[in-house]
Amino acid sequence: MKQSQEIVRPLGSEPVSIAALFSRFQGEIIRKSLHFLIALVPLLASVNLSATLGLLAAGTLFYAFAENSRLQGFPIPLVSELTLIASREKDRHGFVLGPVTLGLGAMLSLLLYPLPAASLAIYALAFGDGIASLAGTMVRGPRIPLFGGKTISGSLACFSAVFVVTLSVTQRPVEAFILAVAGAFLEAIPAGNFDNVILPVGIGLIASRLPIA
């Protein structure tokens, strides 16, 4: 039997072919690479906050222009191709909103909170949400009741990622635990692409109230 026809069963999920699982994971990797790259924003902001905000705004506007052009039948080379590869099947025939809300989430974090709290908010967006999606893709169940299909594996991955990155930055385990719990809850809210805004804004708000220098 060819590899593309082999059947696997991710934990807690229906059987799928290896090819389908690989394609889904590949798209998720490309999609979440943007999340991981957004982790560079706090470093850039520490050098020049205004320039960083301008770069985020320009990148978000350029993507919105490229995505609108794609929908009008005039795809932008490379950008539109990557968008289609990374987009979920249900989003491909409309405007793929994820990169826009990702940029907005990072910009709002920098605008609303001082840099220590803003940095933790952006790290939670980059690693907490990014790793949660990868874990939820590979380990499909069990799911959390009333949370729109979000998986326990994804929430545990988000908790772990936020805890580790916060602890590494602050060296404060209690505060890291608080933000990890908050991050797992906020990421589990079934808000679609707007979790890219809800997660960092919520984490930044909580972090700004904690004794984190």
pLDDT in tens, 24-75: 566 667 767 777 889 999 999 999 999 999 999 999 999 999 999 988 888 8
Per-residue H/E/C for 53-64: HHHHHHHHHHHH
Given this model, what pLDDT does residue 41 score?
Answer: 96
More confident residue, 145 or 205: 205
- 26-40, 79-93, 138-152, 179-193 — which one is most confidently predicted on average? 179-193
- Please, which pLDDT band fits residue 18 given cuts at 50, 70 and 90? low
Beta carbons within 10 angstroms of residue 65's beta carbon: 12
**Token output for 181:** 């719990």
Q: What is this structure's pTM? A: 0.82
- Cα of first residue to Cα of last residue in the chain, in angstroms, is 58
Exposure string of 74-94, with b = 16+ CB inside 10 Å and e = fewer, is ebbeebbebbeebbeeebeee
Rounded CA gap, 106 and 41, in Å? 8
